C-alpha cells in the first residue's frame, strides 16, 4: 500500500517538477536513463516509500490485534491503513498548497537546488511536499492508533 501511495504521489510530483527527478531523485535512486520519465518517477515513489509502510505496519499491525475477530481485524485494518494514507495525503497536500501559494524565488526555503535547475521554486515546492508527506506518515501512525480503538469499540458494542 505504501509503494502504491509513493507511485501515485510521485506522479503529482512529476507533473509539478520533472526537474526534481531529473536533477536529483533519479541519481539518488540509481534509476537507469531509460526510465528518466514519468514511469521512473513512479519507481522512485515506490523505492522511497516502501520502508515507511514497513514502519507503519510494525506499529499498527500488532496494535490492531485489539480488534476482536479475524474478519473484523482484517476489514478494520484496511480502513485504518486507508486513514493513515489519507493523513499523509492531507499533510503533503497542505504543504504543496502552502508552497504553491507562498514560495517565490526570494522567499522559498533554502533547499540545496542542483546546478542547472530551471525552476527552483517548483523544485522546492515538490521537495517540501515530499518532506511533509513523510511527516504525514508519522502523524498517520497516531491517527491509525486512534482509528484502531474506534474500530475496537465499534465491534464490542
User: Domain segments of the chain: what residues?
Assistant: 2-156
Report residues of the chain scoring pLDDT below 70: 108-111
Residue 104 is predicted with a pLDDT of 86
Rounded distance, CA 56 to CA 80, Å? 11
By the 8 A CB rule, do 73 and 60 touch?
A: no
List of residues 6+ apart from 37 with CB closer than 8 A: none
Q: Which three cell numbers stand for residue 131?
A: 518532506
Residue 107 is predicted with a pLDDT of 73
Place of cell 515506490: 46
Residue 95 is predicted with a pLDDT of 95
The alpha carbon of residue 102 and the mean position of all alpha carbons in its chain are separated, in whole angstroms, by 21
Q: Which three cell numbers stand for residue 115?
A: 546546478
Residue 111 is predicted with a pLDDT of 64
Residue 155 is predicted with a pLDDT of 87
Residue 110 is predicted with a pLDDT of 65
Amino acid at each position: 500500500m505504501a509503494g502504491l501511495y509513493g507511485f501515485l504521489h510521485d506522479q503529482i510530483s512529476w507533473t509539478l517538477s520533472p526537474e526534481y527527478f531529473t536533477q536529483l531523485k533519479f541519481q539518488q535512486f540509481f534509476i537507469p536513463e531509460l526510465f528518466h520519465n514519468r514511469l521512473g518517477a513512479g519507481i522512485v515513489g515506490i523505492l522511497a516509500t516502501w520502508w515507511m509502510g514497513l514502519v507503519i505496519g510494525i506499529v499498527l499491525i500488532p496494535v490492531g490485534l485489539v480488534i476482536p475477530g479475524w474478519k473484523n481485524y482484517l476489514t478494520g485494518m484496511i480502513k485504518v491503513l486507508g486513514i493513515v494514507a489519507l493523513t499523509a495525503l492531507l499533510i503533503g497536500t497542505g504543504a504543496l498548497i502552502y508552497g504553491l501559494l507562498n514560495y517565490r524565488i526570494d522567499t522559498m526555503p533554502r533547499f540545496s537546488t542542483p546546478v542547472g535547475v530551471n525552476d527552483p521554486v517548483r523544485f522546492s515546492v515538490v521537495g517540501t511536499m515530499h518532506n511533509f508527506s513523510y511527516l504525514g506518515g508519522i502523524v498517520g501512525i497516531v491517527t491509525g492508533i486512534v482509528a484502531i480503538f474506534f474500530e475496537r469499540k465499534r465491534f464490542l458494542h
